[in-house]
Amino acid sequence: MSTLISPHGADTLQPLFVDDDVTRAQLQTDAESLTSVLISSAAAGNAVMLAAGYFTPLTGFMNKADTLSVGHSMTTTDGLFWPTPVLNLIPDASELKVDQRIALRDPNVDGNPVLAVQQISAIEVLTEEEIDTLTKQVFGTTDRDHPGVAEFRLQGNTVISGPIQVLNYSYFETEFPDTFRTASDIRASIADKGWKRIVAFQTRNPMHRAHEELCHMAMQRLDADGLVIHMLLGKLKPGDIPAPVRDAAIRKMIELYFPPNSAMVTGYGFDMLYAGPREALLHAVFRQNMGATHFIIGRDHAGVGDYYEPFEAQEIFDQLPKDALKIELFKADHTAYSKKLNKVVMMREAPDHSKEDFVLLSGTAVREMLSDGIAPPEEFSRPEVAKILMDHYRA
């Protein structure tokens, strides 16, 4: 069995899901008599990521000091590298007190069942000035038109910190049984396959031909044994393609255009932050935790609109201390089909090309074509993938 890359800041994964059936059942019973707090979707996503081991070595929700420290220097107060706050923010804590155990209820599941039990270590308020500073540090902007900023500002300003015990994986395990995987699950699959060099690819969109070829390119250049396509299964902004459609399209592409047993299609339960560079760093942390040795970061990774420079998410890695992360980057340029070379290339590797030499289509143009039942050119999208997307747009 191969020795896998060690998790972030720990020797072993530290998932916060309560594995023991008896203990979990007892907690479930206890939770019914505890004070209930209906948490935000963002906090629920944090709980699921903590449960699944992706946020190793964190033991629960951050306090105010760690939150401000992460905002300012991307480290917790005890020096752990961490790029974004992991919070349970609520609007009002007048019913709560320190040392109390509370039942965190899931906003994303009918009936709001208990997702986790939290022991309250501290109840602290962020000032308006602190929220503004934190927003600017994490998202690079305070503009409320930014979907991540808008979502963050809706959650409230009271930080409820403390360790949590998580009872389930929200809707992710039931709605995506073939795709949702914990960090432990993925590590076990990698070990079973005997992979030693593993490339991770993040996606919140269907994968067009350029993405597919980028994965092939990364695997070839890194001499990788396997690829883990790891898709976000949580909330997106309006207009993004729903996870089940994305899942079907990606699986079809893997089935037809990748060698057998060279790629895994998996997903994780988290809402998109659209935090650009900071989110790219967070993506790297939890890819290391799931066992990947290399991580593809392309153009405008985790970006939205024009809030970030095209390669800002790559450049931020160059500013980290050497020991911050063990996972290595595969830095990718924009990839597109070259009419001159009849293949997909990284645009920076084709200096003799003009824009007209590439097949370039905007997201809006592709959506319009798919909505009209017109398949994008084969140089842009595999026909089998395009069909799944056309069916979605025309449903």
Active site residues: 204-205
| Residues ≥6 apart with Cβ < 8 Å to 189 | 181, 264
Nearest-5° Cα angle at 319, 317 to 325: 50
Strands 335-338 and 358-359: antiparallel
d(CA 312, CA 67) in angstroms, rounded, equals 23
Alpha helices in 52-98 (DSSP H): 64-73
Place of tokens 């991307």: 74
- The DSSP-derived string for 101-163 is EEEEEPTTSTT--EEEEEE--EEEE--HHHHHHHHHHHHS---TTSHHHHHHHHS-SEEEEEE
Q: Are 294 and 197 in contact (CB under 8 A)?
A: yes
Residue 306 corresponds to which tokens in the numbers above?
Answer: 């024009």
3-state secondary structure of 164: strand
Map residue 330 onto helix, strand or coil: strand
Report the chain's terminal Cα–Cα distance, integer Å.
Answer: 46
Give the DSSP H/E element, type plus range, for residue 40.
none
- Tokens 């795709």 sit on residue: 179
